[in-house]
Amino acid sequence: MTPKTYVFIGRSGAGKGTQLDLLKKFISAQHPEAKINSLDMGVIFRAFFGEEGYVQAIARDLTMNQGKFQPDFLTNALFVSNAARIVDDSSYLFIDGFPRSVFQLEIVKELLQYAKRAEPTFVNIEVPRDNVKKRMLLRGRGDDAEEKIESRLNEYDRSVVPMIEHIKKDSSLTYVEINGDASPEDVHKSLVAALNL
């Protein structure tokens, strides 16, 4: 079995986590022997926010109160330290929430090349900005106040959208864009078809 790497990108509220979980279940059903590893930056950051410390307090404020992305130095350090614990040459690897900039994209590429994991597939769950905003307002999480949502969406447009253009032009990467503006089941079917699974 050739190890596969799937990197999920998309706006907050686009349903990335749901689609990642559905794809993991699908692969587990198709390949019961397969080992699956996941790196979820949301989980990693929530654990970091839960720690005591001066830097942790600054980070909490940046995300919870200002709706901003964390700076590269912190995001990269957390990503690399967690990736180094789980990346191998034989399992399915799922990455969610990283990279979010052109600079971070280069770190992912370097890590995967170092680990001899060729040809990662970037999955973009694409949902229009206004529709994602409505979804986030409806779910009513503590960090989903309207001004924080706007800030996160602006950060995405400023940082992630240019990165997506780089991915599309990079022949060493596979890019798959899925219309996420449908039921989770229909989005999953589209994704499985697009990935030829």
Work out the end-to-end distance of the chain between its first and last CA atoms, rounded to an integer number of angstroms.
Answer: 13
Mean pLDDT value of segment 24-41: 94
**Domains of the chain, start order:** 5-194 (3.40.50.300)
**Cis check: omega of the bond before 32, within 30 degrees of 0:** no
Q: Which residue has the higher pLDDT, 3 or 92?
A: 92
pLDDT of residue 67: 82
Q: Each residue of 93-113: pLDDT tens digit?
A: 999 999 999 999 999 999 999
Q: Each residue of 47-94: pLDDT tens digit?
A: 999 999 999 999 999 988 888 889 999 999 999 999 999 999 899 999
Contact between residue 188 and residue 25 where contact means Cβ atoms under 8 Å apart: no
pLDDT of residue 78: 97
pLDDT of residue 151: 86
- Looking up tokens 């979820």, which residue turns up? 40
Give the predicted TM-score (pTM) of the model. Answer: 0.91
Residue 186 Cα distances to 67, 133, 177, 190, angstroms: 30, 21, 14, 6
12: confidence class by pLDDT, cuts 50, 70, 90: confident
Contacts of 92 (CB under 8 A, 6+ apart): 3, 4, 5, 6, 24, 27, 34, 35, 36, 37
The tokens describing 146, both together, are 């309207």
Contact between residue 139 and residue 13 where contact means Cβ atoms under 8 Å apart: yes
pLDDT of residue 119: 87
Mean pLDDT value of segment 28-40: 94
The letter for the amino acid at 5 is T
pLDDT of residue 2: 77
Task: Report which of 13, 46, 10 is spatially closest to residue 135, judged by C-alpha positions.
Answer: 13
Q: Each residue of 135-184: pLDDT tens digit?
A: 888 876 666 678 888 888 999 999 999 999 999 999 999 999 999 999 99
Contact between residue 6 and residue 95 where contact means Cβ atoms under 8 Å apart: yes
